[in-house]
């Protein structure tokens, strides 16, 4: 499991609530380079229903140029959820969250608020590995 660390160049990872073991997303796309993070979902194909975009380092986002709303989690260095922004509409700016290290973007409703409450710890693990 990791909250940060080296860049992951391939898929094969899932987002997990480490407090409960619940899988929050079946697939993660990683955006770690500055251009990847700046453009985020603007240039990426649409996310699948149980897929998220992991932006690191990132503690604030924008939806300028987007045509759909998104949900976004902001995590600290240890994977603790600091904020859960729901239904961020196009052409909005979500200011940086103090202490934030990672932002996870998802389709609206893809991550249940009850599985991702503020203070919950999440991280990514390789598909097939136990929590």
Number of domains in the chain: 1
Closest by CA position to 13, among listed 1, 30, 27, 34: 27
Considering the domain boundaries, does residue 17 fall inside one? yes
DSSP at 5: -
Question: What's the pLDDT at 9?
Answer: 39
Considering the domain boundaries, does residue 58 fall inside one? yes
Considering the domain boundaries, does residue 73 fall inside one? yes
Question: What's the pLDDT at 5?
Answer: 40
What are the pLDDT tens digits along the chain (131 aa)? Answer: 444 443 333 469 999 999 999 999 999 999 888 887 777 787 766 888 899 999 999 999 999 999 999 999 999 999 999 999 999 999 999 999 999 999 999 999 999 999 999 999 999 999 888 87
Considering the domain boundaries, does residue 103 fall inside one? yes
Question: What's the pLDDT at 11?
Answer: 65
Contacts of 1 (CB under 8 A, 6+ apart): 16, 18, 123, 124, 125, 131
Which CATH number characterizes residue 122's domain? 2.60.120.1140
Write out the residue range of the structural domain in which residue 48 sits: 13-126
Question: What's the pLDDT at 35?
Answer: 81
């Amino acid at each position: 499991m990791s909250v940060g660390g080296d860049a992951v160049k391939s898929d094969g990872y899932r987002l997990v609530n480490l407090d409960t073991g619940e899988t929050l997303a079946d697939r993660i796309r990683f955006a770690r380079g500055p251009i990847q993070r700046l453009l985020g979902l603007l240039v990426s194909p649409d996310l699948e229903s149980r897929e998220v975009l992991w932006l690191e380092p990132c503690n604030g986002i924008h939806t300028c140029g987007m045509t759909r709303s998104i949900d976004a989690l902001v995590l600290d260095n240890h994977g603790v959820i600091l904020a859960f922004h729901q239904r961020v509409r196009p052409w909005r700016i979500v200011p940086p969250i103090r202490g934030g290290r990672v932002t996870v973007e998802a389709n609206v409703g893809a991550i249940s608020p009850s599985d991702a409450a503020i203070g919950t710890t999440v991280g990514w693990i390789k598909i097939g590995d136990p929590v």
